Amino acid sequence: SHGVWQALNHYAYLDAVFLAERLYAEAVRQIVLPKVRSVSREV
């Protein structure tokens, strides 16, 4: 059963990393895109 727990922990970790990366990418989009748009307007 130890191997099963190890697998579950591994997948839970991958899930958390995936979620964190999605949240980070979303946050970057919210912060960076409006700035990029405003800069392109000035040009």
Using a pLDDT cut of 90, give the percent of the chain over it.
67
**Given a cut of 90, is residue 19 above it in pLDDT?**
yes
pLDDT reported for residue 20: 96
Burial profile 9-37: b = 16 or more Cβ within 10 angstroms, e = fewer: eeeeeeeeeeeeeeeeeeeeeeeeeeeee
Better-scored residue on pLDDT, 38 or 17: 17
Q: Is 6 helix (H, G, I), strand (E, B) or coil?
A: helix
* Helix (H) / strand (E) containing 43: none
pLDDT at position 34 is: 84
Domain ranges of the chain: 1-43
Global pTM reads: 0.58
d(CA 34, CA 11): 35
pLDDT in the model for residue 24: 96
What percent of the chain lies above the pLDDT cut of 70? Answer: 93
